[in-house]
């Protein structure tokens, strides 16, 4: 015989499955519905709160720095982030406007700061992504993609060579590999190299030791900084940065990786240098790497019987640092670059970098 039922909601009910189910559904449905409604409302309120906070962060403007240099640093940081969000067509158009040299075999651009050449983790946009678009802008919608002939680091600006045909790209790559391409870089260093000209011949070790040789010459200097021209004889990864920092004890301004032997930390600058730059040490981490691929000299190739000198002006932030640090650029172009190439470089610096 079944036990008597109870009208008390919290008392367990014995009886047939059908009756138990009926009673359970009658008792539990209101509570489940209330709990679900409460959970839905809580989740909805939480989502609305998170959306409101996110929107507030987007609209909230950071405090405007009072120093002109700090404003330029803030602009540079914002510009670098924007490079990863810009539409590929926009980036390709900007690169096309700043072309330094173009012929039937090659296209030469002035690579902007903060833009990687190849893709990788965390990279949304790189130069190789926009080469098909750039080719179509220059040669029509049926044009084949341009090809990379070499690479520069993300933080390095300056001369970058592209080729129309894969075979020409391979030929130029072979010239780089066999060290037939003369390369000149400009950099601003913290402290002044001693002696003012010489050769650094120190192996660079990553997974194994690689022979690395760099010629250097001080073009202008003060007590605490210098404009230095570098001519790498070899092409080891980060060779110039390592040689200047650990070989000459004069790290590149804005090199936050190789400025300290023992740790990876923002570059430490003297009070005098910080004062000239108008920065506090806490803001030094925003200083960009001041390393610029100034010139490439390609030997005769294919139908071209003469060597080709390609010159790019540094970006505006580089020139402004020179001015702040009382450093002078050479009065004349000592590299023999043509006037048209320099004009194109100046336009590129204005369009693609702060």
Residue from 129, 153, 201, 260 carrying the catalytic annotation: 153
CB 197 within 8 A of CB 150: no
3-state SS of 285-314 is HHCCCCEEEEEEEECCECCECCCEEEECCC
- DSSP class of 246: I
Whose tokens are 């359970």? That residue is 24
Does 129 qualify as catalytic in the annotation? no
Cα distances from 280 to residues 66, 69, 188, 223, 315, in angstroms, run 12, 11, 19, 20, 23
**339 sits in which H/E element:** helix 339-352
One DSSP character per residue, 113-174 reads TT--SS--TT-S--HHHHHHHHHHHHH-TTPPPPEE-----TT-EEEEEEESSHHHHHHHHH
CB 159 within 8 A of CB 178: no
Q: Which residues are catalytic, by number?
A: 153
């Amino acid at each position: 015989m079944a036990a008597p039922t109870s009208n008390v909601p919290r008392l367990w009910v014995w009886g047939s499955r059908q009756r138990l189910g009926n009673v359970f559904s009658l008792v539990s449905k209101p509570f489940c519905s209330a709990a679900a409604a409460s959970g839905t409302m809580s989740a909805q309120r939480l989502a609305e709160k998170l959306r409101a906070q996110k929107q507030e962060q987007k609209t909230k403007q950071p405090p405007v720095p009072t120093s002109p240099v700090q404003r330029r640093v803030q602009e540079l940081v914002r510009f670098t982030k924007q490079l990863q969000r810009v539409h590929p067509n926009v980036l390709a158009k900007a690169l096309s406007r700043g072309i330094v040299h173009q012929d039937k075999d090659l296209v030469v651009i002035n690579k902007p700061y903060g833009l990687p050449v190849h893709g990788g983790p965390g990279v949304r946009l790189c130069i190789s992504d926009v080469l098909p678009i750039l080719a179509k802008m220059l040669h029509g919608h049926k044009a084949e993609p341009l090809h990379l002939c070499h690479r520069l680091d993300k933080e390095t600006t300056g001369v970058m060579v592209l080729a129309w045909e894969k075979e020409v790209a391979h030929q130029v790559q072979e010239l780089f590999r066999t060290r037939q391409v003369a390369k000149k870089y400009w950099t601003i260093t913290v402290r002044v190299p001693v002696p003012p000209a010489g050769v650094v011949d120190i192996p660079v070790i990553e997974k194994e030791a690689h022979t690395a040789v760099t010629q250097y010459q001080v073009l202008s200097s003060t007590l605490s900084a210098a404009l230095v021209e570098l001519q790498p004889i070899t092409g080891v990864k980060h060779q110039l940065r390592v040689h200047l920092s650990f070989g000459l004890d004069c790290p590149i301004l804005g090199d936050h990786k190789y400025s300290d032997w023992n740790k990876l930390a923002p570059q430490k600058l003297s009070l005098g240098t910080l004062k000239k730059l108008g920065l506090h040490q806490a803001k030094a981490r925003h200083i960009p790497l001041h390393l610029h691929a100034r010139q490439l000299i390609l030997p005769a190739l294919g139908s071209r019987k003469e060597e080709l000198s390609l010159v790019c002006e540094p970006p505006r932030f580089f020139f402004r640092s020179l001015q702040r640090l009382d450093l002078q650029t050479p009065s004349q172009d000592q590299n023999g670059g043509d006037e048209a190439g320099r004009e194109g470089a100046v336009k590129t610096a204005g369009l693609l970098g702060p």
